[in-house]
Structure 1
Amino acid sequence: MLQILDTRSTPAIHGSPAVTAPPRARAGLMSLATAVPAHRLPQQDVAAAMHHVFADIFARSETMAGIFAATGIRQRYTARPLDWYLEPQGWPERSAVYTEVGGDLFVEVADRALEAAGCTAGEVDAVVFVSSSGIATPSLDAVVHHRMGFRPDIERVPVFGLGCAGGVTGLAVAARIAEAQPGATVLMVTVELSSLAFRLDRPDKTSLISSALFGDGAAAIVLRAGEQGIAVIEGAGEHLWPDTLGIMGWSIDPVGFGVILVPDVPTFARANLRPAVAGILARMGLSTADIGRFVCHPGGAKVITAIEHSFELEQGALDHERGVLADYGNMSAPTVLFILDRVLHEGLPDRATLVSMGPGFTASCVSLARAW
């Protein structure tokens, strides 16, 4: 049975004195690992191929001519080599790759995180698996159960549909599970193969933009309540803007997922992100002035600039966001954890806040305090 500790006072009953519950054991971040698939795609190679695939769009629109250079991406990693994406693929082919490559990435990144935390898969009490770029039932955490060496009684929490916000929200979910079971080891894994959504049959600007942005990757985190580790999870929260369902997501048809992505996400982020994040932080008893480093999902180069403007940061402050985007592209959910990995290696400030936006349209935040 789960024991949930509450820091609120218990009301007095029949004149008895109030009883104060013991303080909540916060989740400690014990390790973080990242991984990418084997196929490296230089951006200039993708650009050359897409100029052929989307020749009509380039011919009609001068603004699209420099789109690949404007992303700030030098290379990406994908589940299959470039030629695979230039052949017709349907649901069966995409799903087979998702299960095969996604499963391999799950095992690789989870093993790295567990080794770094000094524990084994047999010691994991709960696994939170986050992914929005493929569908597998059973989910990949069950598919790799035997390969990983998980116990039969492991608690499995697969999470779908969060998109780019998944890495942050998944961490928040895993932290709550860890806090509810002090001493338990919780593993959070996110795997995204967003390249599988590339569609030859949809020669439109949205498909072209997604072909310039998205790559594949995975990240894993080990949490344990009551131990500080690298950092402590202070709190988390979300903000969903009404009437914004059409900003980002998937359309689904017999061929596969299709990208839904409106072009004015940077404008939306500049105007709306800071008030939403300030509200989330206020519910934690914090303000934006308390945050030493915002760790933000980059989306794209224009989104990074918009976030800097929204939070009134110096231009170039989100340096690791630009670096990860250049080296890996937008990997959806794992991307912000790749950035956090670089921030941790550089040296975490006293307090950092992870921020991602995803389908909903939603902002998701997790606040980290440096372990002393």
Structure 2
Amino acid sequence: MRSSHLGEGDAQYNQYDRDIFLAANSPISVALLSLGTAVPETVLRQEEAKELARRLFGRRSAHFEKLAPVFDNAGIEKRHIVRPPDWYEGDHGWKARNDVYLEAAEALYEQAARRALDAAGVGASEVDCLVTVSTTGIATPSLEARVAGRMGFRADAERVPIFGLGCAGGVSGLATAARLAAEREGKTVLFVTVELCSTSIRLDKLSKANIVATALFGDGAAAAVLRSGGSGVASVEGGGEILWPETLGIMGWDVEDPGLGVIFDRAIPPFVEDNMDHAVGQILAKLGVERTGIDRFTCHPGGAKVVAALERSLRLGDGALDHERAVLRDYGNMSAPTVLFVLERLLAEGMPERTMLLALGPGFTTSGLSLVRG
């Protein structure tokens, strides 16, 4: 059953974002200086992923062969994962999974952060604030603290670790970093998001959602350097979030033994098609930006059906989200970092005058951020 369109009174605009995260309302402009991305070395091609899933689930699930075409229709050719394929055939509990998360997340954090800092010509000791987004593992102390000595961060750098944003974290985290940068002239913020979705693959959970996740998920990290004042590859204009009520069961993670259990509702594509356009209109209205002023929407490619639903809802035309499909094809869905991989491709091609980043995540939430060419 398709979800009905939600009116303005139903979708909740995040007051916090509207009033204090909009860089457009700050007297200090915030520049995006650079992006950096990183992925693990191990490459898993889609046909290999399908055979792995067949070994993991096929002998114990009469429904696997019925669901197996999801691997063929996902629009993915390969993805990068943090362990060799045979690791995923083992029986791993919370500690073993989180140990893998900590080791790999620290390494990917450093790679992405160094690439972004080098591209910006900024030293690690110049960073005033560290914003870190990750939801696929637990790190206490948080990731930026664990790598601080190796990276060369200052002891007095402000630390802002954020958990629970899921796929929306790339946009919401970048927006938070921009808001913090706007606090004073010359403030430099490093934003890093790391997600290791493959560590959630579970042998004990033979649900449709878990098999779909095995067909979609990859691992990766992305980083951005922002600074108030001056210029960069783009400037942050502002953005916001929309939270739809009574939608907690659409997307997220269940905290279970022996690890996280993915929540994927089959209603996601129709929900996106019915509701995304109105949500974007709400965010743009708060920004004071006309819809015609957006030259390109740069979206998190959660899956092939979600990309198609975004094109229909936003009236973009079939195939308009070409960079999104290319990133999905080459990396799969890496959760929060994925949208920044798309933005990286757009910047390499030549960014239009104004682009709006969009991502969907647990809540059910959409996050939007408008960038103007630097």
TM-score bracket, shorter-length normalisation: over 0.9
Equivalent in the alignment of 2:329 = 326
Residue in structure 2 matched with residue 85 of structure 1 by the alignment: 88
- 1:367 is matched with which residue: 345, 355, 370? 370
Q: Is the 8 A contact 2:105 2:143 kept in 1?
A: yes
* Equivalent in 219, 224, 233 of residue 222 of structure 2: 219
Whether 1:267 aligns to 2:264 is no
Mean alpha-carbon deviation: is it higher for 231-240 or for 48-57?
48-57
SS in structure 2 of the partner of residue 54 of structure 1: helix
**In the alignment, what sits opposite 1:158?**
161
> In the aligned structure 2, how far is the partner of 1:60 from the partner of 1:133?
27
Residues 188 and 138 (structure 1 numbering): CA distance in 2 closer, same or farther, change over 3 Å?
A: same
Identify the match of residue 98 of structure 2 among 95, 98, 113: 95
Distance 2:222 2:63 in 1: 39
Contact persistence 1:58–1:65 (CA under 8 A): no
After superposition, give the CA deviation of every residue in 1:317-350 in whole Å (9 maximum; x if it has no partner).
0000000000000000000000000001111111
Contact 2:244 2:363 in 1 (8 A): yes
State the one-letter code of the partner of 1:240: L
Counterparts of 1:367 and 1:23 in 2: how far apart (Å)? 14
Match of 2:195 among 192, 196, 205: 192
The 8 Å contact of residues 31 and 116 in structure 1, kept in 2 or not, is answered as yes
1:206 matched to 2:220? The reply is no
Equivalent residue runs for 1:240-255 within 5 Å: 240-255=243-258
Residues 277 and 314 of structure 2 are in contact (CA less than 8 Å); yes or no, is this contact kept in structure 1? yes
Is the CA contact (8 Å cut-off) linking 1:58 and 1:64 kept in structure 2?
no
- RMSD of aligned residue pairs (Cα, Å): 1.5
Per the alignment, residue 168 of structure 1 pairs with 171
Q: Per the alignment, do residues 331 and 61 of structure 1 end up closer, same or farther by CA in structure 2, a change over 3 Å counting?
A: closer
Q: What is the correspondence of 1:48-87 to structure 2 with a 5 Å cutoff?
A: 48-55=51-58, 59-60=62-63, 63-87=66-90
What SS does structure 2 have at the residue aligned with 1:331? coil
Which 5+ residue runs of structure 1 have no aligned equivalent? 1-5, 8-21
| Other-structure match for 2:14 | none
- In structure 2, the residue matched to 1:136 is 139
1:171, distance to aligned residue in structure 2 (A): 0.4
Q: Identify the residue that residue 104 of structure 1 maps to in structure 2.
A: 107
Name the aligned partner's letter for residue 335 of structure 2: S
Structure 1 equivalent of residue 297 of structure 2:
294
Q: Contact 2:28–2:184 (CA<8 Å) still a contact in 1?
A: no
Matched, 1:281 2:284: yes
**Offset of residue 82 of structure 1:** 0.8
Give the match for residue 308 of structure 2: 305
Q: Distance in 1 between matches of 2:359 and 2:63?
A: 34
Partner residue in 1 for 2:8? none
Q: Find the aligned partners of 2:373 and 2:166 in 1 and give their Cα distance.
A: 27
Structure 1 contact 57–204 (Cα < 8 Å) conserved: no
Letter in 2 for 1:230: V
**1:75 Cα shift?**
0.3
Displacement of 1:242 in angstroms is 0.5
Greater Cα radius of gyration, structure 1 or 2: 1
Cα shift at 1:100: 0.6
Distance across 2 between alignment mates of 1:41 and 1:133: 19
Tell me how far 1:288 sits from its aligned partner. Answer: 2.1
Q: Distance in 2 between matches of 1:243 and 1:265?
A: 14
In structure 2, C-alpha distance between the alignment counterparts of 1:90 and 1:288, rounded to whole Å: 48
Tell me how far apart the structure 2 counterparts of residues 273 and 142 of structure 1 sit (CA, whole Å): 37
Q: Deviations over 1:244-281 (max 9, x none)?
A: 00101111123111101101210000000110011001
Give the SS at the match of 1:202. coil
Conserved? CA contact 2:54–2:64, under 8 Å: no
Report the counterpart of residue 14 of structure 1 in structure 2: none
Corresponding letter in the other structure for 1:159? I
Q: What number of residue pairs does the alignment pair up?
A: 352
For residues 97 and 59 of structure 1, the distance between their equivalents in structure 2, rounded to whole angstroms, comes to: 31
Aligned to 1:11: none
Quick one: distance in 2 between partners of 1:212 and 1:298?
14
Range with bigger deviation, 170-179 or 22-31:
22-31
What's the secondary structure of 2:334's corresponding residue? coil
Alpha carbons 1:128, 1:170 under 8 Å: kept: yes
In 2, are the aligned partners of 1:25 and 1:226 still within 8 Å (CA)? Answer: yes
CA distance in 2, matches of 1:53, 1:115: 41
Q: CA deviation at 1:111?
A: 0.6
Q: Partners of 2:61 and 2:96 in 1: how far apart? A: 29
Deviation at 1:59, TM superposition (A): 4.0
Structure 2 matches for 1:18-37, cutoff 5 A? Answer: 24-37=27-40
Residue 26 of structure 2 contacts residue 182 of structure 2 at CA under 8 Å; is this kept in 1?
no
- Per-residue deviation, 1:107: 0.7
Q: Residues 58 and 64 of structure 2 are in contact (CA less than 8 Å); yes or no, is this contact kept in structure 1?
A: no
Matching residue of 1:125:
128
